[in-house]
Amino acid sequence: MARFLDIHPVDPQPRLVGQVVQALQDGRLIAYPTDSCFALGARIGNQEAKDRIIGIRRLDDRHHFTLVCKDFAQLGQFVQLDNHVFRAVKAATPGPYTFILPATPEVPKRLQHPKKRTVGVRIPEHRLTQAILTELGEPLLSSTLLLPGDEEPMAVGWEVKERLDHQVDLVVDGDVTGSDPTTVIDFSSGYPEVVRVGAGDTSPFG
């Protein structure tokens, strides 16, 4: 059974945030809220958790995993940005966007797209998520919590607990979350291509 932690979305209790981070450091797979919807998350090096995400979502090898970063400085360690792309991404973060970009050597090959050598990155505008990232000190390996057969990602904590009780280790509920996935912008070819329309406005990338 998954543990359920209800944490204040605006003023997250440090003790509870610490328990989430400890679970991640212990190799656990969590479901957590963001500014777009719920996501599945684990530490970058946790191969078992990555395999569990693949199983829960029934993903194929074309799926881009996302590194959820605390800030732009952290994001810049994991992807390559020329000046044009840098300005576009910087203007849209933090926010409900995922950007697909060429990965740096900091990103393990198993997390990169097998052919493109790219990875998804994002910086959420959600205080609870930010508190977890700050305490953890590294990005979260993440994937939108969109279950097979569902048309929309999950956005309510108790429903996540009910449906994934035996598939994740911890459900973090922060009350405030969106109901749409992130908007995905692929910059891997040097220009913006809108791959998925979600919570973020696409007009800056048209």
Type of residue numbered 174: G
Q: What is the CA radius of gyration of the chain?
A: 16
Q: Specify whether the CB–CB gap between 131 and 24 falls below 8 A.
A: no
- Residues of the chain with pLDDT > 90, as a percent, come to 81
pLDDT surpassing 90 at residue 177? no
Entry pTM: 0.94
Q: Specify whether the CB–CB gap between 172 and 28 falls below 8 A.
A: no
pLDDT surpassing 90 at residue 147? yes
Q: Pick from 61, 140, 73, 67: which is nearest to 101 by CA? A: 67
Strands 97-102 and 118-122: antiparallel
Q: At 120, is the secondary structure helix, strand, or coil?
A: strand
Domain 3-205 fold is DHBP synthase (3.90.870)
Integer distance in angstroms from the first to the last C-alpha of the chain? 45
Mind listing the pLDDT tens digit for each residue in 28-70? 999 999 988 999 999 999 999 999 999 999 998 778 889 999 9
Mind listing the pLDDT tens digit for each residue in 105-119? 989 888 888 888 999
Block residue for tokens 């970058």: 44
Domain definitions of the chain by residue range: 3-205
E strand map for the chain: 3-6, 30-33, 38-43, 66-68, 97-102, 118-122, 140-144, 170-173, 183-186, 193-196
Q: Specify whether the CB–CB gap between 180 and 93 falls below 8 A.
A: no
Mind listing the pLDDT tens digit for each residue in 4-27? 999 998 899 999 999 999 999 999
- What the block records as the tokens of 139 is 């990005």
